[in-house]
Amino acid sequence: MLILVANLGSTSFKYKLLDMSGDFESANASPDSRVLARGAVDRIGEPLSQCEVIVTRSHQGETFREETQMPVPDHGVAVQACLDQLTHPENGCLKEANEVAAIGFKAVHGGRKSGTFVVDDEVLEAMDEMSAAAPAHNPPYIAAMKLLRQRFPELPLVAAFETEFHDTISPERRTYAIPAEWTREMQIQKWGFHGSSHRFIAERAAEVLGRDDAKIISCHLGGSSSLTAIDSGKSIMTSMGMTPQTGVPQNNRVGDFDAFAIPLIMQRTGQSLEKVLQTLASQGGLKGLSGGMADLRDIESAADEGNADAKLALGVYTEEIRRHLGGMMVALGRLDAIVFTGGIGENSDVVRAAVCAGLEGFGIELDASKNDGMRGEGSLHTESSKTQILVLPTDEEWIVAKRSLRALAAQ
C-alpha cells in the first residue's frame, strides 16, 4: 500500500511517497528503504513554479531526478503535477495514480479534532475554527484539502494533527491560569506541536537505548523549534503552547512573550493590534534579535565575526532552550537521554555545545571531540556521563504514513 505524505506551505507542496506494504510497525521497518520518491513544488500561484522529483525506484530500476518549470496555479494542480511525474512511463515509479491509497497531511491544528482523521467536512470545520491560532498553517491546508477533494474525489485524504502526540500531557501542565470558561468554551490551552517529529524520536530513542521506559527530552531545533519531555514513549510536557508561535524563539517568530507588553507597543508605535501581531509573527525571533538574519547558519557566522546582535540572538536562543530543558528534567525526575533533531539540532555543534554547557553537575557531559562536526545519527556524551546525548535525524513523513494507514483501517 502506497501513501503520499504531503507537507504544505502557502505557496509550496513537498511530498514523499512511501511503500507501506508488509510489517511497518516493527523496529526493523526501515523507513528509508520504503521511500519510492520525494519531491517539491515551489512558487505555487506564480507564473512559473519550480517542480522537482527524485524517484529512487524508477521503472528502469535506476534513480531518476527531474527539475522543471511550469504554471502551477494551486495545490490541486501541484498534486496532479506530482502524480504525472510519478506515473511517467519510463522514469516514474507508478503505473497508475490510483496505486496511491491516500494522501497523508502533516496537519497542524485541529483543536477539538486532535488525532488522525480521514478528511471530511467536520475535520475542515474544526481546522477553520483554529485558523486564528495557526494563520500561517491552517488556511493553506484547508484550501488545498478542499481543492483535492474536488479534483480527486476517490482519493482519501488523511489529516494527522501535530497536537495528537501531546494529548497525554496532564491538565496541570496544559492549562493556562485564565478564566475557566475560556479553557472550556474556547479551547485555550497548551496544545503543543511538532508531534510527528517528537513521536519519531520517542520510537527511535527507545530502539537506540534498548528500553521502552526511557525518560528523554526531545529537542526539535530548526526554523521552528520545540522541546518535549517523553516518559515511556509518551509526551508529558512540551514547550509550545496554544499556538506554534510560542515557546523557544523561532527563526522569525517571537516565542514566549508577555501579552501585556502589546498595549504599550500599540500606544508607542500607533500600530493596530493586527499589525503588532503580524510583526511578532514574521519579524521576531532570531530575525528580530539579529537585525534581519533568520537562518542560524548566517547568525553563527556573524557571531564568529564579532557581530553583537548575532551573539545576542544565539545566546537568547540557547538560553531559552536550556530554560525549558531544566523544567522538563524536573518533570521527568530522571533523565536517560537528551536528543537533538531537526535542521539545527542535527547540524549545529555550536548550539548543542551551548545547550549542554555547565550541566556536568546534573550528570550531563558532552564530549567536545564527538560533537565537533557531528552530522547524522550518533552519540555525543562522554563515557562517564550519566545521561546519554544523542543526535537522531527525524522522519516526520514516516510517522504520518503510519498514522494515515491506521486511520484508513479504522474507517
> Residues marked as binding for Mg(2+)?
7, 396
- Listing DSSP states for 270-288 in one string gives ---HHHHHHHHHHS-HHHH
- Listing DSSP states for 94-157 in one string gives -S-GGGEEEEEE-----TT--SEEE--HHHHHHHHHTTTTSTTTHHHHHHHHHHHHHH-TTS-E
Reading the block at residue 218, the C-alpha cell is 526531545
**Grid coordinates 513537498 are at which residue?**
14
Phi, psi torsion values for 157, nearest 5 degrees: -110, 135
Helix axes 273-282, 262-269, angle to 10 degrees: 110
Phi/psi class of residue 25: alpha, beta or left (left: φ > 0; alpha: ψ in -120 to 50)? alpha
Instruction: Output the known binding site.
Output: 7, 14, 295-297, 343-347, 396
Cα angle value 170/171/176 (rounded, 5°): 130
Q: Which of 310, 317, 325 is nearest to 356 (CA)?
A: 325
Q: What's the CA gap between 138 and 10, in Å, rounded?
A: 9
Asked if residues 228 and 349 have their Cβ atoms less than 8 Å apart, the reply is: no
Count of Cβ atoms closer than 10 Å to residue 224 Cβ: 21
Q: Which of 327, 16, 15 is nearest to 144 (CA)?
A: 15
Q: Which of 256, 248, 245, 257 is nearest to 227 (CA)?
A: 248
Instruction: Output the known binding site for ATP.
Output: 14, 295-297, 343-347
Q: Which of 331, 328, 301, 326 is nearest to 314 (CA)?
A: 301
Reading the block at residue 334, the C-alpha cell is 530522571
